[in-house]
Structure 1
Amino acid sequence: MAEKLPDITKSYWRDSVKIPEFPRLEKDIQVDVCIVGGGITGITSAYLLAMEGLRVAILDANELLGGTTGHTTAKITAQHDLIYDELIKNMGKSKARLYYEASMEALAFIKSTVEKSGIDCEFTEQDAYIYSTTEEYEEKINKEVQAYEKLGIDGGLVDTIPFNLKIRNAAVMRNQAQFHPLKYLVHLVDEITKKDGQIFNHTTAVNVETGENPTVLTSNDHRVTAKFVLACSHFPFYEGMGLYSTRMYADRSYVLAVKPNKPFPGGMYISADQPTRSVRSVTINGEEMLLLVGESHKTGQGIDTKKHFDALEQWGQEVFGIEEIPYRWSAQDLTTLDKVPYIGEITSGQPNILIATGYRKWGMTNGTAAALLLKDIVLGRENIFKNLFTPSRFYATPSIKNFLVQNADVVGHLIKGKLQMSNMNPKTLDNDEGAVISINGERKGAYRDEKGELHIVDTTCTHVGCEVEWNSGERSWDCPCHGSRFTYTGEVIEGPAEKPLQKYDYKMIDNLTSEDSGY
C-alpha cells in the first residue's frame, strides 16, 4: 500500500522550479500592450510581442504561474477528449479541421522554441489515447475515429492499451507531446525581462477605461495605459458587454503524483467514460512517476474533496500499484457553450481589448494557440484561426441548449444557497475543520485552523451573490455558480470575483452564546 495522501495540496510543477519574483505595481505606467494574467497565455503573448519590439507589461493578481498553468497535467496535444465528431456536427468540417490545426501549430511552436533555445523542460513526444470501457462510449470512440479520418488526423482505432486495464476500444493520435510547463515558461519569462518587459505580481486588475488607448485600473489605484489590453486571466477580469459569466462554467479536477509498482509503457491516456481517468509519466527526483488525473465536477458542486483524491488513489492501486504519493493538487478551468475557446475582441466595437479564455482543461495547446492569435491581432496580421475562435460567434445547436442549462444551474444554486442554513456551532469545530454556520440567522463560513484559531467569513460570493461551499481538500470556499474560490480567510484565489469575502472577528464569535448565534 502507498503512504497516506499528503496533508497539504501542492503542485509538483511549482515545487520543483524557482519562479522569479516580481514587485507590486507602485505607479502609473504606459506601454504598448498590457497583459492581465501570468499563465501560459499571458507569458507566451508577452514573449511573442516583446520579440517583435513592443513594450509589454504583465499584471498578475497573485504570483506568476500560480493559477491553472501551475496546476496543469501538461499534455501538449490536439486530442481534447471526444471533440472532433461534435465539432463537425456543430460547426462543419472546415472549422473542425482548423481547430486541429491550431492545436498542432501550438505544439509545433512549443517544440521549436524548446529546440532553438535549448530549454531543459523534459519535452518528449508521446502518442495520445482516449479509451472506452463501456458500450456507450465504445460507439462514441468509433465516431471520433471516423472524424479523424474525415479531417486527415494522424491516428486511428486500437483495441488495447499497454497496461492492466480492460477497455473496449481507443482512439490514438500520433506524435503528441508532454513537458514540464514551468521550466519552459520560466525561460520565456527570462527572455521577456531581457527585452525590458515589465512584470508585476500582487497587482489586481479590476476594470478598463475604454478608448483609443485603453487604461487598466488596478485595485491599488494605479493605472496602466496601453494601445492594447489582453485579458489572459483565466476568467476575464473585464467582461465588457460579452456576458461571459453566462457563457462559461468552471470545472475542477484532481491530480495525484504517484510512484507505481510497475514500469510505465509510455504514452498519454484519458478515459472517454466518467469519472475521467487520465495518466501520463513524469520524472520526480530522478524517478519515473505517474500523474493520475480525474474526478471532474463543477466547482463548488462536488462531494467531499478528499473523497475525489481517495477515488483516484484506489483506481491507481488497482491499475498500476502505488508505492508512494509525494504530491496531490487540483485545478480548474472554464468551458464555453460550444467547447471552443473565446479568443479575440472582447465585444464588437472594442478591437483593442482582447480576451483568451475557456480552454476546457487543454490549456497547453489552447493557451499557446491563443497567444499566437493575439499576437497577430495586435500586429494587424491575418490569421486563419480568427473567425473560429472569435468570442462573438454563435452556433445555435450547442449554444442555446447549453446556455439554458448552465444558467438554470446558476439560478438553482443561487436560490438553494440562500435557503440553506446550518445549526452547527463553531465552538464544536475541531482543528483543521470548516463548515457553514448560522449567526443571528445569517449564513457564515467557519474554519478552525491547526493552531485552534477560528476564522469566520461571509459566505456570499462577491461576484454575483451566490453562496460559497467549504472545500475540505483545499481548505477553501468555492462558489458553485461561476467558480470563484477564496482562502479560508476570505482572500480571492480564483476569479471572476475580485473582492474578498467579508471577515468577522473570531473572538467576538467565540464569546457568543448559543442563543446569540442562532444555533
Structure 2
Amino acid sequence: MSHTNNGNGKLPQDPESYWRADIDFPEFPSLQEDIDVDVVIVGAGITGITSAYLLTNEGLKVAVIEAGKVLNGTTGHTTAKITAQHDLIYDEFIKNIGKSNARLYYEANTEALQFIKATVDEHKIDCDLTTQDAYIYATTEKFARKIEKEAEAYKELHIDGGLVDGIPFDIETQNVLVMKDQAQFHPTKYLVHLIKLFTEKGGQIYEGTTAVNIETGEQPTVLTREGPRVTAKTVLACTHFPFYEGAGLYSTRMYADRSYALAVKTKKKFPPGIYISADEPNRSLRSVTINGEERVLIVGESHKTGQGIETMEHYKALETFGEEVFGLEDIVYRWSAQDLVTLDKLPYIGELTAGQPNVLIATGFRKWGMSNGTAAALLFRDMIIGKENTFQKLYTPSRFYAHPSLKNFLTQNANVVGQLIKGKLDSPKTNPEDLSNGEGAVITLEGHRKGAYKDDKGELHIVDTTCTHIGCEVEWNNGERTWDCPCHGSRFSYTGEVIEGPAEKPLQRYDYKMIDNLTSEDSGY
C-alpha cells in the first residue's frame, strides 16, 4: 500500500486505519422491505457482530443493520488490545463503586478475553492473536504514587500482577505495574470470520441502512431513514452512541473523546508486551505485523471531540515521541478514533430505559471496546435467552453512584454550555477565497458563520456550522477533514453528512454560486 506524505515529516497525507487496509470485507445489500426477526441489532462493530454470532448459535433469527459499512466505526480504528487493564481504574472503582463491583468489572473483562481466545482457537481464526503482559508506567512522582495505589488495588482484588522494576525500552520510569497474560489481535480479521459464521447460519446483514427511531411496545420496531421497518422481539442498539435515547438522556451522561494512532517502522526493536502511560499526554504502545514485518502502534493524545488544538498537531506529537524513543524509519498509517466516557467510567450495557427489557444498549466503553464490547455481547445473549448473568446489575444504564456521577454530570454539562456560548460568540475572519486546495476552516460569509472546505480540485463545499443535535457550533478537524461538535461529539463529513451521532440530520449545505441569497441546496431531508 502506497501512502503519500503531507510534508510534515513522515506523516501520510490521508488518514487510513491499518485494520481496514487490504482486508476483503464482505458486502451486503441495503434493506429493501419490512422484515420480522427475533432480534434486530443496530450497528456492525465488535458488540453487534459478536452478539449476532452468539444469538444465532442459540437458534434465534437475527438481522444486523448498519448505516455505513461493516466494521468501519470505532472497531475498525481501535488499538486492538484485549485487556482488563484499563488505565488506572481499580483503585478509583474500589472508592466509588465498591470492592465487589470493582472485582466484577475485572472478571467481566477477563471473561471477554477468554471468550475471544477460545473462539479463535475453536474456529482456527487467523487474526494475529498473541498473549502479552500489559504494563502501565509512570514518568512522574505524582503518577508513581497513583500506580502504587493501583498495585494495592490489584492485591485487594486478587488480580494477577504487581509492581515491576521498569520497561524494556528507552523511557525513564518512576513506577511500573503489570497485569499478566492479556492479549492483542487483528480485530477485523477476527470479526470478518465471525460474520462468515453468522451468515452461514442464516443471519442477515444490511449495509447502507440507517436506523432513526424505535416504535416501542411488546414487539418493538426499528424505523430506518430509507423507509423499511424491522420488527423484532428485542432491539440491540450497538451504535457507539445510542441512535435512540428514549428517556435515558445519554447525551447528558457521556462525553466524546478522541485519540490518534500511528503505525510506524522503528529503528529499535520493540519488546514483548503492551504498554500505556499513566501520565498525560497519554501514550499507548503495542507491536503489529504488517506485510510480515514487525511495526509499532503509537497511540495517544486524548482530548474531547471538537475541542483543543488543530488535530494534525496530535499526530506530530506522536511522531516526535516515536522518534525520541524508538527512532522512526517510516510512518505507514495514521488514523484516529472516538469513544464515549460515562459519568462513572463504567459502560452502560442493558435496558435503555428501566423496565423496558426488549430495547437494550451498549455504549461508553472508554476506549476499551475489545473487552467491554465482547462482555456486552455475552451479557446481551444471557439477557435474551433468560440466563442469569453476574454482571447485569454492574453495567445497568439506570444505575447512579452519587460520587462521582453527580460531580461529573455538572462538570460535563457546564462544559457543554460553555462550548455552546463560545461557538455563538465566535467571529471568524477567514474568507472562502483564502483557502488552499485541501484546506478547511470556519469562515464568515455575508455576516454568517459557515464552514468551508476546498477540495483537491478547487471546488468549495460550504455548510452551516450549527450542529443539528442541540445547536452547538462545529469546528474543523484538519486531520480527518471533518466537522466535529465540541458539545456531544457529533461528526460530519466536509459535505455535511453525519459520520457519528448523536446528530441524526446532516449540516445544511450551501451553493457557493448562489451564496448572495444564502440559498440552501436540497439536502434530501
TM range (shorter): over 0.9
CA distance in structure 2 between the partners assigned to 1:506 and 1:154 by the alignment: 61
> Which residue matches 1:255?
261
Classify the secondary structure of the residue corresponding to 1:355.
strand
The gaps in structure 2 that reach 5 residues or longer are: 1-6, 519-525
Secondary structure of the structure 2 residue equivalent to 1:31: strand
SS in 1 for 2:133: strand
Query: Which of 316, 319, 341 in structure 2 is aligned with 1:335?
Result: 341
| 1:209 alignment partner in structure 2 | 215
Tell me the distance in 1 between the aligned counterparts of 2:330 and 2:280. Answer: 25
User: By how many angstroms is 1:159 displaced?
Assistant: 2.3
> Out of 348, 369, 373, which is 2:375 matched to?
369
Matched, 1:44 2:50: yes
Residue 506 of structure 1: how far off its partner (Å): 2.3
Distance 1:341 1:62 in 2: 24
Secondary structure at 2:194's aligned position in 1?
Answer: helix
Task: Quote the Cα distance in structure 1 between the aligned partners of 2:197 and 2:180.
Answer: 31
SS at match of 1:461: coil
The answer to whether structure 1 residue 496 and structure 2 residue 502 are counterparts is yes
Match of 1:297 among 290, 297, 303: 303
Aligned residues: 512
Counterpart residue identity of residue 232, structure 2: A
Tell me, in whole angstroms, the C-alpha distance in 1 between the residues paired with 2:56 and 2:448.
51
1:135-284 to 2 correspondences below 5 Å = 135-284=141-290
Amino acid at match of 1:236: P
Which residue is 1:121 aligned to? 127
> Are 1:18 and 2:29 matched, yes or no?
no
Distance in 2 of aligned mates of 1:421 and 1:347: 41
Q: Check conservation: 1:126, 1:178, Cα contact below 8 A.
A: yes
Q: Deviations over 1:234-268 (max 9, x none)?
A: 00001111110000000000000000101111100
Deviation, 1:2, is 10
Answer whether contact 1:31 1:55 (CA < 8 A) is retained. yes
How much does 1:18 deviate?
A: 1.2
Residue in structure 2 matched with residue 517 of structure 1 by the alignment = none
The residue type equivalent to 2:327 in the other structure is G
Note the 1:433-472 alignment, pairs <5 A: 433-472=439-478
C-alpha deviation, 1:53, in angstroms: 0.6
**TM-score, normalization: structure 1?**
0.97
Corresponding position of 1:321: 327
Q: Secondary structure at the match of 2:52?
A: helix
Structure 1 residue 437, shift from structure 2 partner: 1.2
What is the letter of the counterpart of residue 339 of structure 1? K
Q: Is the 8 A contact 1:159 1:169 kept in 2?
A: yes
**Aligned-partner residue type, residue 160 of structure 1:** G
Supply the AA of the counterpart residue of 2:298. L
Q: In the aligned structure 2, how far is the partner of 1:159 from the partner of 1:168?
A: 9
- Identity in percent: 71
Distance 1:357 1:450 in 2: 36
| Aligned partner of residue 166 in structure 2, secondary structure | coil
Listed one character per residue, the Cα deviations across residues 423-478 of structure 1 (whole Å, up to 9, x for unaligned) are 22101211111111122322110000111000000111111111100000100000
Aligned residue number for residue 396 of structure 1: 402
228-237 vs 497-506, which moves further: 497-506
Tell me if the contact between 1:253 and 1:331 (Cα under 8 Å) persists in the aligned partners: yes
CA deviation after TM superposition for structure 1 residue 422, in Å: 1.5
Look up the equivalent residue of 1:291 and give its one-letter code.
L
- Which residue identity lines up with residue 378 of structure 1 in the other structure? I
The equivalent of 2:3 in structure 1 is none
What 5-or-longer segments of structure 1 have no aligned partner? 513-519
In the alignment, the residues of structure 1 paired with residue 517 and residue 17 of structure 2 have an alpha-carbon distance, to the nearest angstrom, of: 39
1:477 matched residue in structure 2: 483
Contact 1:485-1:495 within 8 A present in 2 as well:
yes
Query: Aligned equivalents of 1:206 and 1:10: distance in 2?
Result: 28
Superposition misfits of 4+ residues, deviation over 4 angstroms: none
- My pick for the range that moved more, 36-45 or 420-429, is 420-429
- Partner of 2:451, secondary structure, is strand
Deviations 1:172-224 (A, max 9, x none): 00000000000000000001111111101111101000000000001112100
Aligned residue for 1:32? 38
Give the drift of 1:95: 0.5
Could you tell me the TM-score, scaled by structure 2's length? 0.96
Post-superposition offset of 1:3: 5.9
Q: CA RMSD in A?
A: 1.3
Aligned counterpart, 2:96 = 90
* Alignment partner of 1:53 is 2:59: yes
Query: How far apart are the structure 2 equivalents of 1:452 and 1:509?
Result: 17
SS in 2 for 1:229: strand
Q: Any idea what the Cα deviations from partners look like across 1:92-116, whole Å, max 9, x if unmatched?
A: 1110000000000000000000001
For 2:432, the equivalent position in structure 1 comes to: 426
CA separation in 1, counterparts of 2:247 and 2:56?
Answer: 30
Aligned AA (1:451) = K
What SS does the corresponding residue of 1:45 show, helix, strand or coil?
Answer: helix
Measure, in 1, the Cα distance between the counterparts of 2:196 and 2:28: 12
